[in-house]
Amino acid sequence: MDIIDDLKYRGLINQVSDEEALREVLKKPTTFYCGFDPTANSLHAGNLLVIVIMMRLQRAGHHPIALVGGGTGMIGDPSGRSTERQLNTKEVVASYADSLKKQLDHFLHFNEGNATFANNAEWLNKLSTIEFLRDVGKYFTLNYMLSKDSVQTRLESGISFTEFSYMLLQSFDYLNLYEKKGCRMQIGGSDQWGNITAGLELIRKRGHEEQAFAMTFPLITKSDGTKFGKSMGGAIWLDPERTTPYEWYQFWINASDDDVVNFLKYFTFLTKDEIEALAKEVAEHPEERKAQKALAREMTILVHGEESLKQAEHISQALFSGNVAQLSGAEIKQGFKDVPTYQAPRNEPVKLLDLLVEAGVTSSKRQAREDITNGAIYVNGVRRTDLQDVLTEEDRINNTYIIIRRGKKKYTLIQF
């Protein structure tokens, strides 16, 4: 199937400006772009959908331009928001833009000839107010701008002229890339339709005959209605320092049966036959969670690589079996990132009974005695029932960690 049909099978096309004409254009290598506003020093799971779509188009022979909004990031996109964004300084935006470039390069490989990185600060920071009003603003009526959803939804709560003008700046981006890079298509989330089609309007009104196109994909939500890309701890980041590979793996492997097949279509490069075979497994043997394992495996390799996948699987298996002593120090740091941690004040042997109270594992020595006697306390996965037990250097993993488990799931990390 061609790229349009593949995207449709995967449920990735929400709107397209002229599908018949676009199909013809995409029969030859075509330059397209997508924008990323630098609002943080890392992209997140929600951004991954458009990155994967760019990769699909790239693999089909087309030329992606990843545009980071070093200029528009100073303004703030009103799309999908009920309040004004807090403006960051020029230095902060520039540092975020640099971080995003490195992350995008991991997927698109800018130095290999078939992908380009751009930062709209290069042209927007040079654009004077008079030039902007004459060369861009005069082509848009107030009525046209007010009709856009991104503006309509903000009229009651209020929208500043700063964010109101964002649409025009994004339109100028498209015009600039069309004229200088031969860019024929812009893609983005469905909330970007108004901004993207405004770019088409500007290109047309500036007298360009070669048609430009707009394509959007649906904004992803989970089957329970909650926002995709969030967990109890907040956003799921691509940066391994903010979301460890183990946490990333766990996010995908915990996908519900109602979501997993769609996620396989959206995010992986598995074929239609492979996805339908996994869908059959979900229907007939949901307890085996083969689809979730495949999803977690594919997504961890894509973002973090084979070695990180092996670590994530090793951590998961150790935690499931309780055999945590087999973990390395680096794996413990990942797998127990959000577990209560106690920094031991001394580097010497300590009675287990005392440590349970000091580390907050139990509320009192009386409770600690009961838990030890009843077999509820595990040290590095091994049950300890001796009230006189003393923990020494030999009990430390990587000479740094002792993992205490109370009951089935309550872990505390002791760090020396």
Q: How far apart are the first and last CA of the chain?
A: 58
Q: What is the C-alpha to C-alpha distance for residues 267 and 304, in angstroms, rounded to an integer?
A: 15
Residues 6+ apart with CB under 8 A from 220: 46, 49, 228, 229, 266
Question: Where does residue 94 rank: exposed (0-12), middle (13-18), buried (19+ CB within 10 A)?
Answer: middle
Binding site, by residue number, is 33, 166, 170, 230
Long-range pairs, 229-236, Cβ under 8 A, ≥24: 229/44, 229/45, 229/46, 233/338, 235/44, 235/45, 235/46, 236/44, 236/45
Q: Which two tokens stand for residue 186?
A: 């812009």
Q: Which two tokens stand for residue 217?
A: 């994909």
CA 360 remoteness from chain centre: 34
Binding site for L-tyrosine, by residue number, is 33, 166, 170
- Asked if 8 and 14 count as a contact pair (C-beta separation under 8 A), the reply is no
- Asked if 108 and 139 count as a contact pair (C-beta separation under 8 A), the reply is no
Q: What is the C-alpha to C-alpha distance for residues 323 and 320, in angstroms, rounded to an integer?
A: 8
Q: What is the C-alpha to C-alpha distance for residues 78 and 7, in angstroms, rounded to an integer?
A: 27
Phi, psi (degrees; rounded to nearest 5) at 150:
-60, -25
Residues 6+ apart with CB under 8 A from 302: 52, 107, 267, 268
The DSSP code for 44 is: B
Q: Which helix (H) or strand (E) holds 176?
A: helix 166-181
Binding site for ATP, by residue number, is 230
